[in-house]
Amino acid sequence: RFNIRSVDGPDDFASMEEVLQRRFARYHSAQEEKDQPGYKPDLAFSILPDLLIVDGGKGQLSRAVKVIEEQGLQGQFAIVGLAKQEEELFLPGKSDSIRLDEHSQGFYLIQRIRDEAHRFAITAHRQRRGKIGLASRLDAIPGVGPERRKALLQHFGSIENILAANVEEIAQIKGIGADLAQAIKTQLE
């Protein structure tokens, strides 16, 4: 899973480009490090895919091909673009799309892959948004900055657990104290 770092606002092309650059940069790093003593490969990044399915049509596919070429990986694996509306497949260098019979096993497989990718992305987005929400609730409390917020969340794990704790338990966290612990309880309730 990759969180988008360098793209402001919704930009599917730039976001996909960033993710692919980071993914394949990690592949190259894994290749350089594999002969180091004590190296434990991260299997998610130390091998290349057999097939890269790009979520989108010709534009997204051409952007992905550009990144793959920049990384020196052209010809190392197959790549295809999957357009959403018609379940069309696009291949690099081909102007016409491939349409699978909507009752075929291939069509069903492609739909399942796309749906799983979307489910994964939505779940990750919700989790990230939830963490930001937790952090902002704690940040709104005077006296709780990034360090104290981090200490609270590392110790308790969630806002719910902080709420379940008593003032004395909260006060035991390094840098909190009784007065701030009381303020935290009051603000969160």
Residues contacting 148, CB < 8 A, separation 6+ = 138, 173, 175, 176, 180
Cα–Cα dist 145/13, whole Å:
35
Residue located via tokens 């894994």: 30
The yes-or-no verdict on residue 132 having pLDDT over 60 is no
Mean pLDDT of 104-116: 89
Nearest Cα neighbor of 68 from 87, 48, 89, 84 is 48
pLDDT band at 162 (very low <50, low <70, confident <90, very high): confident
Mean pLDDT of 24-36: 86
The yes-or-no verdict on residue 93 having pLDDT over 60 is yes
Please tell me the predicted confidence (pLDDT) of residue 136: 65
Q: In this predicted model, what pLDDT tens digit does every residue of 50-71 receive, in sequence order?
A: 999 998 889 999 999 999 999 9
Cα–Cα dist 13/6, whole Å:
12
- Domain limits of the chain? 1-99, 101-189
pLDDT band at 129 (very low <50, low <70, confident <90, very high): low
> How do strand 51-55 and strand 78-83 relate by DSSP bridges?
parallel
Please tell me the predicted confidence (pLDDT) of residue 6: 77
Cα separation values, 116 from 120, 134, 170, Å? 6, 27, 40
Q: What angle, 0 to 180 degrees and rounded to 10, lies between the N-to-C axes of helices 146-156 and 105-139? A: 120
Please tell me the predicted confidence (pLDDT) of residue 71: 96
Q: In this predicted model, what pLDDT tens digit does every residue of 2-27 receive, in sequence order?
A: 777 777 777 788 888 999 999 999 99
Q: What is the CATH number of domain 101-189?
A: 1.10.150.20
> How do strand 88-90 and strand 98-99 relate by DSSP bridges?
antiparallel
What secondary structure does DSSP assign to 79-101, as a single string?
Answer: EEEEETTTTEEE-TT-SS-EE--
Predicted TM-score (pTM) of the model is 0.63
